Amino acid sequence: MDGQRRDANVGEEARVVAKVGSIESEIASQPACWRRAAKLAADVARTLPAGGERVAVAGCGTSWFMAQSYACAREQSGHGETDAFAASEMPLRRRYDRVLVLSRSGTTTEVLQLLDHFDGKVPTVAITASAGSPVVSAADEAIVLDFADEESVVQTRFATTELALLLTHLGHGIGPAAEATERLLAEALPAELMAARQFTFLGTGWTCGLANEAALKLREAAGMWTEAYPAMEYRHGPAAVTGPGSVVWLFGTAPDGLADEITAAGGVAWQSGGDPLAELVRVQLLAAAVARARGLDPDRPRNLARSVILTPARPGSSP
């Protein structure tokens, strides 16, 4: 198959041919993974937070940003108060009815420490890609999305698939996002995005988490200078970095007049108005393409591992 590989992880309906490496294959398989997750949502409904529960969602890196999107979508659609935390920063004294943790690897130290803390105190649920991972035994209940697991160190489809599951559980149909993504996968990446030197991603509501994830993707895979903010925060400082070679990427509707200000500063205001999840996929494709154009391997970026496992400090070592 000459450098091409068949993706066997997501079932017949999701088979795609990779053009270059794992990440491109995994990115392209997302619509199929989302539809599969949407079908699964009814089967796992009783494991996921019930309406009215006060919920905390925690994770690290990409998983934290998916937690942010879900928390906002859940609260805004009237299902109950929902907070998202980096697993290392969750306040341990607050009262929650359920704690949900997200971890593709199921081995991330900070997530396991949280589950250990809440053991026997609060019902816990983990969503992971790996049935044999420590989070499955550490949480009271677990949902295993092994069909969306990935070879690439950089997360793409696992993260969006768990979000698709959670959004479906909230009553949001994933079909339009999947269709928009299929159309987008057939498009070429715009030259002005490939040529940019700096990206600022802006979101509102549940797309703030997507903006954070978009910025992380370009940092992780391509080592790029990226930032992310709630859209209304852009004028409170972040505007200072916009200039020639900047792209300010707006998920959702731009605040009045912002696109003109970005253009006047010499930047590109990128606002497709398309489905936010499909736009995140465009960023993933861009991250892989920019990495390869720079001679980097987007599947195995420097200084990154599939999961972060911290070794305990030795007694007597300095703080």
| Alpha carbon distance 211, 204 (integer Å) | 9
Give the footprint of ligand F1P on residues 223-282 (CB under 6 A).
none
Which residue's Cβ has the minimum distance to ligand F1P? 61
Read off φ and ψ for residue 189, nearest 5 degrees: -75, 130
Interface residue with ligand F1P, options 104, 169, 219, 282 (CB under 6 A):
104
Q: How many residues does the chain have?
A: 319
Under rule CB under 6 A, residue 68 binds ligand F1P: no
Under rule CB under 6 A, residue 111 binds ligand F1P: yes
Using CB atoms within 10 A of its CB, is residue 15 exposed (0-12), middle (13-18) or buried (19+)? Answer: middle
CB nearer ligand F1P, residue 62 or residue 284: 62
- Nearest Cα neighbor of 244 from 265, 258, 261 is 265
Nearby residues of 109 by Cβ (< 8 Å), 6 or more positions away: 308, 309, 310
Under rule CB under 6 A, residue 126 binds ligand F1P: no
Please say whether the beta carbons of 314 and 161 come within 8 A. no
Under rule CB under 6 A, residue 60 binds ligand F1P: yes
Nearby residues of 21 by Cβ (< 8 Å), 6 or more positions away: 152, 288, 297, 298, 299
| Alpha carbon distance 26, 190 (integer Å) | 21
Under rule CB under 6 A, residue 67 binds ligand F1P: no
Q: Which stretch binds ligand F1P (CB under 6 A): 60-68, 180-188, 221-229, 256-264?
A: 60-68
Please give the size of the binding site for ligand F1P, defined by CB under 6 A. 18
CB nearer ligand F1P, residue 88 or residue 272: 88
Q: Which stretch binds ligand F1P (CB under 6 A): 16-24, 59-67, 189-197, 285-293?
A: 59-67
CB nearer ligand F1P, residue 150 or residue 227: 150
Residue type, 230: P
Minimum gap (Å) between residue 108 Cβ and ligand F1P: 3
| Alpha carbon distance 208, 69 (integer Å) | 7
- 3-state SS, one letter per residue, for 184-212: HHCCCCCHHHHCCCEEEEEECCCHHHHHH
Under rule CB under 6 A, residue 108 binds ligand F1P: yes
Under rule CB under 6 A, residue 61 binds ligand F1P: yes
Interface residue with ligand F1P, options 122, 241, 265, 308 (CB under 6 A):
308
- Chain residues that interact with ligand F1P, rule: CB under 6 A: 59-63, 103-105, 108, 111, 153-155, 220, 304, 306-308
